[in-house]
Amino acid sequence: MLKINNLHVRVGEKTILNGIDLAVKPGEVHAIMGPNGSGKSTLSHVLAGREGYEVIEGEVLYQGNNLLDLSPEARAHAGLFLGFQYPVEIPGVNNMYFLKAAINARRVVQGRNELDAFDFIQMAKTKAKLVGLDESLLQRSVNEGFSGGEKKRNEIFQMAVLEPILAILDETDSGLDIDALRIVAEGVNALRDPERSVILVTHYQRLLDYIVPDYVHVLSEGRIVRSGGRELALTLEEKGYGWLKEKSPHIAPAGPGA
């Protein structure tokens, strides 16, 4: 499904990702943890095709194709979804209108007919219920004036509507209250499917109680410094990130280079 090989990424003069290797198979859930500023969002953005990042080395294969060659919208059409750490407000654009345009853009590319307003609304309402999104938010402008938690929930709602093949959720759990966290996790679990993979970026092991990952990776200074099963998250919660540095400061074979 997704294969990242030796990915190096630079923003301006600053190298942020220093050789990421990661393989995600269909149906798997991978959690990525790591200290602030370690490059988690950068990785998410690069995968989604945001401009301003320069890939200086490495490659990313998605469903066997070179992902980095595609425009952001083409990646979305191919089933890649990014839940934003900071969802963006679009004043004056109705949430439902926005999502309908999104879903139909993809359907057109797939050669399917567009959903009409009626079918779309039915579907959207069902999905809103699934992720516990207040229906009144559907008629508001995209994220405008939404509370932090509502924005995150809206991301999960969009994911549920768009039914991605690979969902990358960048700290979708931060800002959610405990009940919301559970509801959102249930929403994600409901979408778990042998054909659908999820990359969860999170700081909190608590989320992983609800969405049980197959793998946990620790990203530090632009590299995956440790990978393990679910128990790795528990160890991290207990010990923090410091012990990783002490025990294995140089996992990568060579120095990062300038």
Partner 1 sequence: MTETNSSKSPSLATAPIPGQAPSSTEELNTHLRKDYEHGFTTDVESDTLPPGLNEDVIRHISRMKNEPDFLLEWRLDAYRHWLTQRAPNWAKLNIDPIDYQAISYYSAPKTEKDGPKSLDEVDPKLLETYEKLGIPLAERAALAGVAVDAVFDSVSVATTFKDKLAKEGIIFCSFSEAVQKHPELIKRYLGSVVPTTDNYFASLNSAVFTDGSFVFIPKGVRCPMELSTYFRINAANTGQFERTLIIAEAGSYVSYLEGCTAPQRDENQLHAAVVELIALEDSEIKYSTVQNWYPGDENGVGGIYNFVTKRGDCRGDHSKISWTQVETGSAITWKYPSCLLRGDNSIGEFHSIAVTNHHQQADTGTKMIHLGKNTRSTIVSKGISAGQAQNIYRGLVHMGKNASASRNHTRCDSLLMGDRCGAHTYPYMEVKNPSARVEHEATTSRIGEDQLFYCRQRGISEEDAVSMIVNGFCKEVFRELPMEFAVEAQNLLALSLEGSIG
List residues binding ligand ATP (CB under 6 A).
11-12, 14, 16, 34, 36-42, 52, 85
**Gap between the Cα atoms of 225 and 251, Å rounded:** 6
Minimum CB separation from ligand ATP for residue 203, in Å?
6
CB 124, min distance to Mg ion, A: 28
Helical packing angle, 148-162 and 117-130, nearest 10°: 120
Q: Interface residues for partner 1 in 160-219 (CB under 8 A)?
A: 162
Minimum CB separation of residue 48 from partner 1 in Å reads 5
Min separation Cβ 130 and partner 1, Å: 18
Least distance between partner 1 and beta carbon 110 (Å): 8
Label each residue of 58-86 as H, E or C: EEEEECCEEHHHCCHHHHHHCCEEEECCC
Examine residue 64 and tell whether it contacts partner 1 (CB under 8 A): no
191: alpha, beta or left? (left if phi > 0; alpha if psi -120 to 50): alpha
* C-alpha to C-alpha distance for 91 and 240, rounded to whole angstroms: 40
CA distance 258 to 253: 15
Q: Is 84 a residue that touches partner 1 (CB under 8 A)?
A: yes
Query: CA-to-CA distance for 86 and 120, rounded, in angstroms?
Result: 26
Site size for partner 1, by CB under 8 A?
Answer: 36
Residues that bind Mg ion (CB under 5 A): 40-41, 85
CB nearer to Mg ion: pick between 42 and 95: 42
Q: Where in 89-108 is the site for partner 1 (CB under 8 A)?
A: 89-93, 97-99, 101-103, 105-106, 108
The distance of closest approach from Cβ of residue 53 to ligand ATP in the complex, given in angstroms and rounded to an integer, is 8
Q: Which residue has the tokens 């190298």?
A: 15
Burial of 167 (0-12, 13-18, 19+ CB in 10 A): buried
Judge whether 17 and 43 are in contact, CB under 8 Å. yes
- 16-55 footprint of partner 1 as x/- string (CB under 8 A): --------------------------------xxxxx---
User: Where on the chain is the footprint of partner 1 (CB under 8 A)?
Assistant: 48-52, 70-77, 81-82, 84, 87-93, 97-99, 101-103, 105-106, 108-109, 141, 158, 162
